[in-house]
């Protein structure tokens, strides 16, 4: 059996069409244009490519979008002052500071300086807290995208054994939390594996749905999964370059071997990545609607 490929690219395109219509209506009926600023500190090539993709999508959807590039040696105080400026700018509804930040800057301090009502990444402790207790909030984009992919692909999560590999604040912890909640894409029984897990394969073999965000290429191999599993691969690993200089990417699972056992699997690229960016846009539209008192 060869798995159904869950195309994040196609699902994201569908959601972007819905958002485009919503942005048009917001402009024509309410005079509101969603505004997004992405702040990039330094010149890390991966961060540049992520931020460029976010800006392009925002622009294509008709947002007011600003790309704010800052030098690697910007002081923490200057970065905090910049965030304060955007917190007080009514044309900006969403603020994203691309991570990772240089070592001399405290990530937590920066993320906590963003107004929670403009925190479209969903990283501010206020939004994290609201997420955990199931209140309305900005959901972090990658876990939000994973839920949408599962729901729109018709994957049953209620009662499913879900195994998450990785315990990051950006993916592992929030997706585990969301999938135990009483909500669409939730009601699952969740296990989280991490670097201190004694026998990872024991857990991954039990999974009906396996979500891998380990940050290392091909850590999950075909012998570690059961027949019929649904695999969501969050990893984006640069494993080389084509002769033309384009990055060669692979995920955190051995896609070619696992697709012969799985019932459904996300590819890399074209899986979770496009969904993450799209959910950032969805959060920004939500922020603009909240700012205008429309929700």
- Binding-site ranges for ligand GUN (CB under 6 A): 96-99, 121, 141-142, 170, 276
Would you tell me how many other CB atoms lie within 10 Å of the CB of residue 142?
24
In sequence order, the 6+-apart residues with CB closer than 8 A to the CB of 251 are 212, 217, 218, 233, 234, 235, 236, 237, 266, 267, 268, 271
We find the least distance from the C-beta atom of residue 154 to ligand GUN, in angstroms, to be 26
Q: Catalytic residue at 54? A: yes
State yes or no: is 121 an active-site residue: yes
> Rounded to whole angstroms, how far apart are CA atoms 154 and 161?
16
Pairing of strands 35-41, 94-97: parallel
Strands 247-250 and 264-265: unpaired
| Minimum distance from residue 199 beta carbon to ligand GUN (Å) | 29
Q: Which is nearer to ligand GUN, 225 or 279 (CB)?
A: 279
205-216 b/e with 16+ CB inside 10 Å = b?
ebbbbbbbbbbe
Q: Give alpha helix (H) positions in the chain.
A: 8-30, 45-60, 76-87, 107-113, 125-132, 141-152, 172-180, 200-204, 255-258, 272-291
In angstroms, what is the minimal distance from the CB of 107 to ligand GUN?
10
Residue with CB nearest ligand GUN? 99
Catalytic choice (54, 118, 259, 282): 54
Active-site option among 55, 118, 119, 121: 121
Q: How far is the CB of 67 from ligand GUN (least distance, A)?
A: 13
Active-site residue flag, 103: no
Write out the two tokens for 114: 């963003």
* Token code pair at residue 279: 């959910």
Nearer to ligand GUN, 49 or 221 (CB): 49
Six-digit token string for 179: 């999938």
Least separation in angstroms between residue 99's CB and ligand GUN is: 4
Q: Which is nearer to ligand GUN, 170 or 288 (CB)?
A: 170
Residue 40 or residue 250: which is nearer to ligand GUN going by CB?
A: 40
Q: Got the DSSP string for 23-65?
A: HHHHHHHH----EEEEEEES--HHHHHHHHHHHHHHHHTT-EE
User: 74 vs 96, which CB is nearer to ligand GUN?
Assistant: 96
Please identify which of the residues 98, 233, 252, 261 carries the catalytic annotation: 98
Between 46 and 294, name the residue whose CB sits nearer to ligand GUN. Answer: 46
Least Å from the CB of residue 15 to ligand GUN: 17
Q: Which residues of 143-176 are buried (b: 16+ CB within 10 A; e: fewer)?
A: bbbbbbbbeebebebeebbbbbbbbeebbbbbbb
Active-site amino acid positions: 54, 98, 121
């Amino acid at each position: 059996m060869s798995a159904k490929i869950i195309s994040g690219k196609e699902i994201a395109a569908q959601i972007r069409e819905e958002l485009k219509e919503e942005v048009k209506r917001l402009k024509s009926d309410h005079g509101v244009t969603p505004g997004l600023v992405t702040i990039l500190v330094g010149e890390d090539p991966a961060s540049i490519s992520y931020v460029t993709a976010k800006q392009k999508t925002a622009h294509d959807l008709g947002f007011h979008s600003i790309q704010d590039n800052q030098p690697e040696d910007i002081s923490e105080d200057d970065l905090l002052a910049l965030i304060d400026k955007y917190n007080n700018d009514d044309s900006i509804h969403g603020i994203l500071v691309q991570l990772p930040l240089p070592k001399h800057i405290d990530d937590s301090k920066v993320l906590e300086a963003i107004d929670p009502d403009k925190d479209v990444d969903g990283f501010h402790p206020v939004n994290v807290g609201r997420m955990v207790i199931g209140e309305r909030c900005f959901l972090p984009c990658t876990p939000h995208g994973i839920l949408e992919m599962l729901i729109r692909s018709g994957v049953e999560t209620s009662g499913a054994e879900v195994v998450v590999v990785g315990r990051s604040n950006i993916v592992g912890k929030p997706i585990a939390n969301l999938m135990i909640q009483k909500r669409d894409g939730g009601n699952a029984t969740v296990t989280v594996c991490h670097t201190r897990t004694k026998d990872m394969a024991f857990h991954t073999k039990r999974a009906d749905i396996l979500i891998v965000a380990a940050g290392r290429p091909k850590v999950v191999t075909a012998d570690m999964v059961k027949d019929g599993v649904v695999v969501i691969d969050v990893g984006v690993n640069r494993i080389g370059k084509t002769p033309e200089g384009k990055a060669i990417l692979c995920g955190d699972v051995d896609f070619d071997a696992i697709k012969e056992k799985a019932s459904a699997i996300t590819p890399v690229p074209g899986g979770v990545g496009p969904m993450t960016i799209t959910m950032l846009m969805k959060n920004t539209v939500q922020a603009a609607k909240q700012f205008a008192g429309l929700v």
